[in-house]
A and B are shown apart, each in its own frame.
Chain A
Amino acid sequence: MSSTTIQAIFDDDDVLLSAVKDLKAANYHIEEVFTPFPVHGLEKAAGLENTRIAIMSFIYGVIGLSFSVWMMNYMMIQDWPQNIGGKPSFSFAENMPAFVPIMFELTVFFAAHLMVITFYMRSKLWPFKEAENPDVRTTDDHFMVEVSTSNDVKALEDLLNKVGAKEIKTKA
């Protein structure tokens, strides 16, 4: 039995949000929602799993911190100890306060950049990639919900009309 995917266009984020909730309540499977901007609460309404990127961000931060500790120790203590401002230059612990800004910056740098790269990879985005939006209006002021059903298409279309969809079409 093949399933049909219906694309419904909405023109208001509040209507979209309540429509998604109604569809979920009616046990329809929402495949994808395209919005021009993040809609608050939509990820919960659409039943997405919580993102795990926060955990990765913490791990990336710890990697950055460790890297900076290793780097500063190698540069300033082992490889070429320098006497700057009369500070003892042969001990990492005693020079640590001077390294804190670098440790902080590299923690942020690693967490931020690796998080963005992770996000691109998970979303299958890369430079020059063709856009996947089924409708260009979803990058401007319209919202689209893709719902799939394997039984009664008519019932789904009626429901969509009832919850405020402006346009309904079947995905090719």
Chain B
Amino acid sequence: MYSFSNKLRLGAIILMILGALGVGYSFYSVPSSTDEVKEMMSHNTEHNGDLAKKEATHNVEADTHTTEVNVDSEAKHLEHAFHAMQNRPWSAAFIAMFFFFMIALGTLAFYAIQYVSQAGWSIVLFRVMESITAYLLPGSLFIFGFLIISAMHGNHLYVWMNPDLYNPQSEHYDPILMGKSWWLNTPFWMIRSFIFLFGWNLYRYISRKNSLLQDTATDLVHYKKNFKASVFFLLFFVVSESMMSWDWIMSLTPHWQSTLFGWYVFATLFVSSITVIAMVTIYLRHRGFLPHVNDSHLHDLAKFMFGFSIFWTYLWFSQFMLIWYANMPEETAYFIPRLLGPYQVLFIGMLVSNFVFPILVLMNSDYKRLPWFIISTGVIILLGHYVDIYVMVTPATVGNHWQIGIPEISPMLFFLGLFVYVVFNALTKAPLHAKGNPFMKESEHYHY
């Protein structure tokens, strides 16, 4: 039985408090009108000049700059900067809540795959995975709350929610979005999101319950139930995960589309999840709570980290190259701010940390068995994929004038604290050895 160490609990709570204060501060310091923006800008001339320069290459969605008289353009510019500043804390909070949510979701998918493939090696890690997926419910509640606020126009991250876009009389009328509105309309979008979140949480509830019951059972009935539930969950997951990524992330730039996007997001969430499983496992083993986990189990997890880092790059490149090669304006719009614009440093940097670094460091098979090696590589991979989500979201919401400050760091700290608290609290709830699983013996003796 694991007991939550006081140091870790205190650390998690401090992170949450610090994060919550920071998030509160960043929402508080958002200007409430364009006049305030004007004042803020005049205080900082360098900042202003920078923004004015950016004006020339503006390309935030639903923003149609045409040739106008200077006064008008100045007002528009202020309006624009105002919206970007308003969006910034929302956008940063969404990135953080989605990142930790997707780790729980990816772990759930990995867990279901172990059941469906009847894998023998991973059973000693089942309770670790189950505890990570314990974050799914709180994560889902945060996400759903965020989606409701967005749908009620509490923020303007999803520009396609503006009703003017679908009014032929309005100057903002957008025939492209009109054509997409059968799918991309707020009620249907909310219903879909609810179904996805409900389905994932339902599987998590059922599988955890059966897994605990199997510990004391004399037959395999709970195991068999879990096997069936996992099959249906995976069928549901591959479709719903794709749609979730269109709805929650791709629709931030509603004119742009990529058929690969769902898989790309999947690769990100999967590699992050496996990394977190490995890190939590190493921590617990180091503290002596997982006596049956041997180096071969770590080796396999590290192999997955290595393999899915390459898989991620493969999808990243597949999406990029076709758009780069075809060079159609409506498609390249996505890559202009990211590859050539102000996000270039992050965009290229994440390729290094998510591909070049893991492939070189984790290639040697001996290194995959060194705990400190896996931990330090894992930290780089997780940071890289955090940047990945950041670069998916921020160009569409904050625009070209990005920076990393309190609004970006605080929600990350808050959700990290919450994640650690929920996961390690869940670990104390059940024995760490899923002794009822029929493959347990094989897993204990697993040797590569």
Contacts and interface: CB of A to CB of B under 8 A. Distances in A.
Nearest to A41: B447
B28 interface: no
A97 B324 CA distance: 8
Interface in B287-332: 317, 320-321, 324-327
A100 B187 CA distance: 43
Contacts of A86: 327
A97 B320 CA distance: 9
Contacts of B365: 54
A75 interface: no
**Is the contact region of chain A dominated by helix, strand, or loop, or is it mixed?**
helix
Contacts of A87: 325, 327
B321 A97 contact: yes
A98 interface: yes
Interface string A86-98: 1100000000011
A100 B325 contact: no
Contacts of A100: 317, 321
B300 to A, nearest CB: 15
A38 interface: no
B119 interface: no
Contacts of B324: 97
B370 interface: no
A85 B321 contact: no
A85 B363 contact: no
Interface string A70-114: 000000000000000111000000000110110000000000000
Interface residues of B, number: 10
B54 to A, nearest CB: 24
A165 B61 CA distance: 77
Contacts of B327: 85-87
Contacts of A28: none
A58 interface: yes
B76 to A, nearest CB: 33
Interface in B230-265: none
Given A85-B325, A86-B327, A58 B320 contact: no
A1 B320 CA distance: 71
A87 B321 CA distance: 13
B324 to A, nearest CB: 5
A85 B324 CA distance: 10
A58 B317 contact: no
Contacts of A98: 321, 325
A100 B363 CA distance: 20
Interface string B346-367: 0000000000000000010100
Nearest to B320: A97
Interface string B437-448: 000000000010
A155 to B, nearest CB: 32
A98 B447 CA distance: 42
B3 to A, nearest CB: 38
Interface in B165-202: none
Nearest to B363: A58
A58 B360 CA distance: 11
Contacts of A58: 363
A101 B365 CA distance: 26
Contacts of A54: 365
Nearest to A101: B321
A23 to B, nearest CB: 21
Nearest to B364: A54
Contacts of B321: 97-98, 100-101
Contacts of B363: 58
Nearest to B323: A97
Contacts of A101: 321
B284 to A, nearest CB: 28
A54 B367 CA distance: 14
A141 B321 CA distance: 50
Interface in A25-48: 41
6 contacts: A41-B447, A85-B326, A87-B327, A97-B320, A98-B321, A98-B325
Interface of B: 317, 320-321, 324-327, 363, 365, 447
The 10 A-B residue pairs with the shortest CB-CB distance, nearest first, are A97-B321, A97-B324, A85-B325, A100-B317, A98-B325, A86-B327, A85-B327, A100-B321, A97-B320, A58-B363
Given A85-B326, A97-B325, 14 more contacts: A41-B447, A54-B365, A58-B363, A85-B327, A86-B327, A87-B325, A87-B327, A97-B317, A97-B321, A97-B324, A98-B321, A100-B317, A100-B321, A101-B321
